[in-house]
Structure 1
């Protein structure tokens, strides 16, 4: 397969400072082992095929620093300059970008100038990988798209919707950390439009097992089957092929079930049942549709569209993980998803990762000691959502902000 000629522009200050708020151990590994994750990125999370890196540049403020997350290290600050040799040894061109003002360095300007210059290069760069969560890069992505170049964003946080909308691919902080750790990257992506799903399933034997197990459970069921519990059981029985193929190419568990053509099957948000044999599941007494301000934030900030009663369960699962484990972001989202599934609560890893990031940026990171309890996680997450809304100029009245907090299960006394 022909490799895609690619250029990587990394805003180190932006990406590293974003990652270290979420998972300090893996963020430092990102800074010390760039050769390893760059090699994995060559063939992972691609747009049109594996990449051939023609340009790899790291833009770094040599005087920049973040507070050391290890209070016992005896070094209160982690200076970015200490990571510079690792990038040089990995073949990066390291571009020093000292501060121009009290709060701004020149990295984003240099990245834009270099990328636009590359458009005029005799060598055609087919894909530009922009590693930055700065929405100021949006005009650059628009310019690259106008020149018919593929673009991939590597974002350390929840990037602005306009920033994401003009890119061909978004690599989230969780996916980046999975790359850094050498783990299989799990995504919640939909299959390509027009794909039947079965066309991209690479393990037909496992798909046959999936079909047989589901049909056996479905035929033997005497009552509606809880989708979250069923998905959890199948993951345990079928192993990693479930996540490696994203439910055998169908892009989600329910789509995989629908492909089986189960007789008389009816689906709701949480159950599947045989309408010829089972009574419909009783109403769970759910919260009903989200209030308008919550719907607005879901549309503009990609806030997960979870029912009101699910939010506290997510916070409790994350609090339980933090209390029982040494924190690792990718393990935390996987563990919490499986714990919730055991309780019959179906929440994707992407939604749990969204909460985990929001909690960290809201001031209660799960790696903190002592670890935050569920109530602190709820308040920090709601604070972050409302702070992001304000930064995005989404106007909310005090009453609407209170509605959002109530829906998210946070104490209304929080400070946004």
Structure 2
């Protein structure tokens, strides 16, 4: 039977949040909702795949964002353009025009419709709320009292009071992966050795064979020519650039991940860790990065941000390295946030800094919502990234009613900027 599920999508909230992070992925999300909707059937489920019994999209038809077209011109991209694609994917699209300068009625409509669904003849096992609007916290409380599972899908840093109630949260990094057809990593903090099982995949399926053979040719050449272990994130990035959309369309030719696709080539003496691949007869395995301290002592104001905003618990000297690495990526790559976080994590670990991908994503997300998106042109400097991220953290702290004195604000700024002040001594 599967899990009987209802999905309520606040389009303006989710699309707007995605657009700040990665405009190309946001447009992909809106142009092909059927693709990510199918993937969501089996993402983060506990009792089998979902069955979408109810799909609703709440959209402001007059909403728009500035978008750079193929000619490099900025034009208004109206949300109404995407309406047919959601209808085609099976959504009931409900118009929610603005009734004030910044708000539409989507959140109210979602609450009313979801509560109505609780009393419907059909029992919905799970309610998926695609929105980062914490105004819907009472709705989640109501759903929990009715013993229904809930999932939040949000590209923004939603309030903890909102996310804590949900059974499952799909954050920005996971949503980006879902839209792009990448495996959705539900626990980035755990580093495990590569699982070298090779699944039985038909690489001769339509659209797969030619791309797979091109993949084989490129990887074989890189593998045979390598004088040292190959960084998997960098190699995957180059392959995406060379092979184009076929990688995402086929989800690595049906294997589900870059590592599994490489393993399918069955190279002699191939060895893989989570971050490198190498020929065991020619290369020395890379030593793993030194483990982070079990408990990093933080100044008390920073400790509060870790507890209440999920600020990554990192040593003070690591922050500038993260800003610089993100800037390096923005200056050297066509922007893709999923690739950015993976590449940056691997670069940092090459420097001996075991920063998780989730921590990198936290900074990238804060930078974008702080007014300095990594995809902008010209690309931001490390200093611009730092300033935007720190300002965003403090803005979120104020919104969460975390009371800081002026000295405590100075301590937070100094810690996240790796400045030496008396106030920042752990």
TM-score, normalised relative to structure 1:
0.76
Does the 8 A contact of 1:375 with 1:410 survive in 2? no
Q: Is structure 2 residue 341 aligned with structure 1 residue 333?
A: yes
Tell me how many residue pairs correspond in the alignment: 344
Does the 8 A contact of 1:47 with 1:169 survive in 2? no
Residue 48 of structure 2 aligns with which residue? 49
Change (3 A) 1:239 1:77: closer
Does the 8 A contact of 2:10 with 2:59 survive in 1? yes
Report the Cα offset of residue 102 of structure 1: 2.0
- Inter-partner Cα distance in structure 1 for 2:45 and 2:360: 24
TM-score, normalised relative to structure 2:
0.74
- Inter-partner Cα distance in structure 1 for 2:51 and 2:136: 23
- Inter-partner Cα distance in structure 1 for 2:73 and 2:354: 43
Tell me which moved more, 74-83 or 320-329: 74-83
Report the Cα offset of residue 366 of structure 1: 0.7
- Inter-partner Cα distance in structure 1 for 2:359 and 2:40: 23
Q: Is structure 2 residue 151 aligned with structure 1 residue 143?
A: no
* CA displacement 1:181-228 (0-9 Å, x = unmatched): 11111232689xxxxx99xx995879xxxxxxxxxxxxxxxxxxxxxx
Change (3 A) 1:317 1:75: closer
Q: Is structure 2 residue 176 aligned with structure 1 residue 177?
A: yes
Residue 86 of structure 2 aligns with which residue? 87
- Inter-partner Cα distance in structure 1 for 2:345 and 2:404: 31
Q: Secondary structure at the match of 2:41?
A: helix
Does the 8 A contact of 1:379 with 1:411 survive in 2? no
Does the 8 A contact of 2:296 with 2:313 survive in 1? no
Report the Cα offset of residue 394 of structure 1: 1.1
Residue 216 of structure 1 aligns with which residue? none
Q: Secondary structure at the match of 1:77?
A: strand
- Inter-partner Cα distance in structure 2 for 1:176 and 1:14: 13
Report the Cα offset of residue 33 of structure 1: 0.4
- Inter-partner Cα distance in structure 1 for 2:157 and 2:370: 13
Q: Is structure 2 residue 318 aligned with structure 1 residue 310?
A: yes
* CA displacement 1:77-115 (0-9 Å, x = unmatched): 221111111111111100001112222111000000000
Does the 8 A contact of 2:348 with 2:354 survive in 1? yes
- Inter-partner Cα distance in structure 2 for 1:409 and 1:7: 44
Residue 264 of structure 2 aligns with which residue? none
Report the Cα offset of residue 148 of structure 1: 0.4
* CA displacement 1:320-349 (0-9 Å, x = unmatched): 111100000000000001111111110111
Q: What is the RMSD of the two structures over their aligned residues, measured on CA atoms?
A: 3.3
Q: Secondary structure at the match of 1:289?
A: coil
Q: Secondary structure at the match of 1:68?
A: strand
Q: What are structure 1's unaligned runs of at least 5 residues?
A: 192-196, 207-229, 242-252, 254-268, 273-283
* CA displacement 1:268-309 (0-9 Å, x = unmatched): x9449xxxxxxxxxxx9x996211110001111111111111
Report the Cα offset of residue 411 of structure 1: 7.9
* CA displacement 1:55-82 (0-9 Å, x = unmatched): 0110001111122255955453221111
Change (3 A) 1:205 1:69: closer
Residue 212 of structure 2 aligns with which residue? none
Tell me which moved more, 399-408 or 322-331: 399-408
Residue 259 of structure 2 aligns with which residue? 240
* CA displacement 1:8-43 (0-9 Å, x = unmatched): 000000000000000000100001000011011111
Does the 8 A contact of 2:62 with 2:80 survive in 1? yes
- Inter-partner Cα distance in structure 1 for 2:295 and 2:100: 48
- Inter-partner Cα distance in structure 2 for 1:75 and 1:323: 21
Does the 8 A contact of 2:56 with 2:91 survive in 1? yes
Matches within 5 A, 1:330-409: 330-409=338-417
Q: Secondary structure at the match of 2:52?
A: strand
Matches within 5 A, 1:29-40: 29-40=28-39
- Inter-partner Cα distance in structure 1 for 2:132 and 2:79: 18
Q: Secondary structure at the match of 2:21?
A: coil
Q: What are structure 2's unaligned runs of at least 5 residues?
A: 199-228, 236-256, 261-273, 275-288, 421-426
Q: Secondary structure at the match of 1:66?
A: strand
Q: Secondary structure at the match of 1:10?
A: strand
